[in-house]
Amino acid sequence: MIATELTTLLIARFDAPHATALVLMGSHAQGTATEYSDVDLLRLVPADAVQYDEIHSSIIAGRLVNITDIPPGRIEAFFTEPELASSYVAGLRRGHVLVERSGAYERIRARANGFVWDETLQEKANRWASDALVGWSEEAHKGLQGLRDGSVGRLLEARFGLSWGLGRVMQVQRGVLLRSGNDFYDAVAAAVGVGSRWVALRRIVFAIESADGRAPTLHEQVTAGLRLYVETARLLNPVIMPDDREVISHTVQRIKAALGASALGLGDT
């Protein structure tokens, strides 16, 4: 938890008459902050606030402070939209209240504590993941071209989409509720299966060193990312939407044609 002196400064700087609550989030609220951890603040504001849902950054007492203004409608979306629920609900359970008016945040916390990832939300998550996989097909094509012509720019763009992007797809589809962004890598791995091919490929895409201490090259990362696209499509096949299937299938076939048996899991990882 942050020191009392900093708490006082935060309240003095960011509390406002129109705000219904000022809440400390993230690692500082959870007691896991380090010397370099930023301070995340959530400020609940009315629907007619001039600015909301925007992150404003400041330096307070030598700390990076990020404050996000959230109106009631946005809070509602945290519980009804899977891509938001997966990122916010767990954090809302653990927020530390600095300022509270009329019990605004405690009502939100109670809702977060009682939150259930139900069938309706899962159906939305399936649609979201299917659409997102279509979106990342562009990065897959850039990766194929980058491997062919050696374009570093294309390879870097591909690596982002085929690592963070595909990880996010699986996070939402599997209903992984993150306490913070620091949990992303391990929590998604646990949801998919720590010993799975998907997790093994993602490890290469993120350039995590192998047992011999060698980090994968950029080409190896992108190649693994393309295989990861194929594996993600395979895992999500039962929930891919009919309108999305043509693009995803086309992308998978192009990857298989370009990489050969290894993309099918028949060669070395």
Over residues 102-143, the pLDDT tens digits come to 898 999 999 999 999 999 999 999 999 999 999 999 999 999
pLDDT at 120: 97
Structural domain contains residue 269: no
State the total domains in the chain: 2
Range of the domain at 16: 4-113
Do 68 and 131 sit in the same domain of this protein? no
The three-state DSSP-derived secondary structure of 178-234 is CCCHHHHHHHHHHHHCCCCHHHHHHHHHCCCCCCCCCCCCHHHHHHHHHHHHHHHHH
- pLDDT tens string 219-243: 999 999 999 999 999 999 999 999 9
Phi-psi category of residue 65: left, alpha or beta, with phi > 0 → left and psi -120 to 50 → alpha: beta
| End position of a domain, from candidates 113, 135, 164 | 113
Query: pLDDT, tens digit, for every residue of 10-59?
Result: 999 999 888 999 999 988 888 888 888 899 999 998 877 655 556 788 99
99 with 137, same domain: the answer is: no
φ/ψ of residue 208, rounded to 5: -75, 135
Report whether 50 contacts 28 (CB < 8 A).
no
Distance (Å, whole) CA 124 – CA 163? 22
Answer yes or no: do 151 and 245 share one domain: yes
141 and 259 part of one domain: yes
pTM (2 d.p.): 0.89
Shared domain for 88 and 142, answered yes or no, is: no
Tell me the three state secondary structure of residue 241.
coil
- Clarify whether residues 145 and 107 are in a common domain: no
pLDDT of residue 50: 57
CATH number for 57: 3.30.460.10
